[in-house]
Amino acid sequence: MAFDKSLLQRELEDSSSDDDDCLIMYRMSRNLFVRIMNDVELYDDYFVQKRSAANVLGLSCFQKVTAAFRMLTYGVPTDATDEYVCIRESTAIESLCRFVAAVVDLFEEEYLRYPNEADTTCLLALGEQNGFPGMLGSIDCMYWAWKNCPIEWQGQYKGHMEEPTIILEVVASNDLWIWHAFFGMPGSHNDINVLHRSPLFAKLAEGRAPEVNYTINGHDYTMGYYLADGIYLSWATLVKSISQPMGNKNKYFAKTHEAARKDVERAFGVLQSRFAIVRGAARIWDMETLSIIMKACVIMHNMIIEDEGVVDPTERFDYGGQNVEPSHESNRTLDEFIEAHKRIRDKEIHHQLKADLIEHLWQYFPDKY
């Protein structure tokens, strides 16, 4: 079924209409929605409106993208889009798959990038404001239920939850920007198993990550770190809280650590509120399609944060600053690669860093929380 101008499309194109309607409908501003729709139409010929052999005008790009957005933002089943945008179930599924694939291809390099020198400088500044110099964000995992998981796979995808799940590992900063997203591990794994398979520290081990230099309590450090909960291992690049703190300093550190680490929990909550498809049980059968859907949702989450002005897209740094050195392409030998991994997992540095942070917070950030 085809139509020229639906009521919904006229409302979107009406310049006098309030932008709040678009925020409610698509979880993003009108300008951002139109930008994504236009870029997707230019990228994939599937979204260009065409005429059939009988000279009948086919579905418009607006109809296909709206159907995809309704499934992403509301989590509605595919057949629920028929009455709203006059699109069949099979076409809605194809529109969703083509749309998320186009979003990933178009925007992944910019909106799901590894932090460069400028990004690292901003992250360090945010960490310094919270009393954690050298912090690059917070890390945690989220479980996405998989309703249509094949029966032969359900054993490996069931963990502490009764239903099959897929794990998303995320690193988020204070502004809720997601800097790292690793998705696809079965729900039978825990955060440690996921971290061992994650590419989070790949560039750092290969010598291609921006070098971070900072000093805490008189000790020099050359690697940034992430705030993590108690399940994670004692690595030099992870700082955990204290489960049973004794003494005022340790109690204060545990309180400030948990307050700062809530950034990643907030990021999960905002991601699920904006894209209900990742809050409910996944109904897609194909694991590869689920991975693309999750990545597309993370990318659009970052695009919304930038569009709302939380992140300034024009903020750029000519140099990384005094505590960040530019990354360089490195061809490390196997021995150098192994040595870098040892430094990343050094327990002594982990304990020294935590002790220095406890003292730093107690001296320079009294009564912050």
What's the pLDDT tens digit per position in 265-292? 999 999 999 999 999 888 888 899 999 9
pLDDT of res. 23: 62
pLDDT digits (tens, 9 = 90+) for 91-146: 889 999 999 999 999 999 999 999 989 899 999 998 988 889 999 999 999 999 99
Alpha-carbon gap, residue 331 to 33, rounded angstroms: 42
Highest mean pLDDT among 4-13, 140-149, 155-164, 324-333: 140-149
The pair phi, psi for residue 172, each rounded to 5°, is -125, 150
Q: CA 207, 209, 214, 219: dihedral to nearest 10 degrees?
A: -30
Cβ-based neighbour number of residue 221 at 10 Å? 19
Residue 258 main-chain phi, psi, to 5 deg: -65, -35
Domain boundaries, the chain: 7-110, 117-364
Please report the DSSP string for 291-334 in residue order: HHHHHHHHHHHHHHHHHTTSS-TT---SS--TTEEPP------H
Average pLDDT of the chain? 85
Q: Comparing C-alpha atoms, which of 237, 236, 233, 257 is closest to residue 245?
A: 257
Closest CA to 11 of 32, 30, 28, 27: 30
DSSP state of 113: P
pLDDT of 333 reads 83
pLDDT of residue 16 exceeding 50: no
> Which residue matches tokens 């006229």?
10
Cβ contact 263:174 at 8 Å: yes
SS3 64: helix
Please, are residues 72 and 277 in contact by the beta-carbon 8 Å criterion?
Answer: yes
In eight-state DSSP terms, residue 4 is S
- H helices of 88-231, in order, are 89-111, 117-129, 154-157, 191-197, 202-206
For residue 56, what pLDDT is reported? 82
Q: What's the whole-number mean pLDDT along residues 335-340?
A: 86
pLDDT for 82: 67
